[in-house]
Amino acid sequence: MKYYGTVDSFDEAMGHGFITPESTGAMIGFDKSPISWNGKTPPAVGERLCFEMSDTVGESRAINLHSA
């Protein structure tokens, strides 16, 4: 299932950040590695993304991210 949300924060040095989904409002973490666009451009705060959810070890993460 596809979800949409905006980038709340992103730490370039660590390669991870948080997205606020449009559907729930509870922030979800993501890593830079599953981003499906130009790897040279980090996601910007406020940027709208499309993503899927993965639940590993009881923690939800955004995967298969791309610009929306």
- pLDDT recorded at residue 24: 76
- In the chain, how many domains are there? 1
Contact in structure between 26 and 57 (CB atoms under 8 Å): no
Record the pTM: 0.81
- pLDDT recorded at residue 7: 94
Residue identified by tokens 């606020």 is: 20
Alpha-carbon span 28 to 21, nearest angstrom:
7
Q: 63 or 57: which carries more pLDDT confidence?
A: 63
List the CATH number of the domain containing 58: 2.40.50.140
What is the residue range of 60's domain?
Answer: 3-67
